[in-house]
Amino acid sequence: MPFTMHTFHNLSKTTQPVALYLNSDIAAFQIQERHINAIKNIFPTSVICFNKDEFLDLLPCVEIAITWSFEEQWYPLASKLHTILTPAAGRERIAEDSNNKVKVEHGTFHGVIMAESLLSMMLWHSRELNLSFSAQKQKKWLRNELSQSKRLGSQHHFILGYGAIGRICAKYLKTLGATITGVKRSCRDAKLDDDADQIIHPDELIAYLPQADTIISVLPSGTDTDNLLTSQHFSAMKNGTYFYNIGRGNCYDENDLCEALYNGPLVGAGLDVFNQEPLSSKSALWDHPNTIITPHSSAIHDEYLDLYIKELERRVYN
């Protein structure tokens, strides 16, 4: 549900404690003193919880919780709770309220970080940086070998999951001059979109795939995206296609992806997410010579929570 002051309580007017529980093992996601002070400016009644027990003890008193995760069995403890705010984009860590009394608002700021992560992988491939890196280690001056490098702006990129994050990725690529096809279930006229040259439904994807130079998945998790890409989809891609995934890993079978990478038509990939994480050390993906693997880190950035707090300020005060 999109955030509006019409669908949510007036968040800035709460007189009850706001439970702030943002512990994380990832340094970029760990709340710092500057974040606490900024949130207290937005919600003067906020109380920081340093562990789960403190958070659960506070739940009966709070109207708003700011947290990474929320379990289904916690809702009966939180009789006054009406809103959960979370920096996360993924839906899987906040359980649904079976009584539909508590609204959940996810962060929407991730696109600018994730688009840069995507571009870093795409430029590595298109500019043949693997060859330059290897030559540097060997102290070799290679130039002719880079003659087959390609410009991202001359290519046709398909973006699966053409939502908020997908559109920012499109905007970055369109700045370079690229052709963009957005893929989404709720289709709309591409003429109304600033960056997509066409928008198609997933059911049409196989017919259009031979046009693509790269396939970019920004698909969310969920049963409606399970195995959305099948072996038939990979077979429909033209030889030399690159595949990138910064969404979730449930949208295809890993064996189908490996088959397409090792035997064609895919020539390379950039993979940040996997169906099982961490990726098994036995996975054949590790050994593919033209595949970049990153540890679900496309949104990890030292400004992560700073960007989220700026978004909170806009939501509460605008």
Spatial distance between the Cα atoms of 105 and 46, rounded to a whole number of angstroms = 17
- What does the CA dihedral 178, 181, 183, 184 come to, rounded to 10 degrees? 90
Cα–Cα separations (whole angstroms), residue 162 to 64, 120, 151, 202: 30, 20, 23, 11
| Pairwise CA distance, residues 280 & 302, whole Å | 27
Taking the C-alpha atoms of residue 152 and residue 179, their distance in angstroms, rounded to an integer, is 9
- Cα separations (Å) of 180 from 21, 83, 87, 242, 269? 39, 37, 28, 15, 18
Query: How far apart, in Å, do the first and last CA atoms of the chain sit?
Result: 17
Residue 59 burial (10 A CB sphere; 0-12, 13-18, 19+): buried
By annotation, the residues acting in catalysis are 248, 296
For residues 260 and 234, the answer to whether their CB atoms sit within 8 Å is yes
CB-based burial label for 25 (10 Å; 0-12, 13-18, 19+): exposed
Could you tell me whether strands 198-200 and 179-183 are parallel, antiparallel, or unpaired per DSSP bridges? parallel
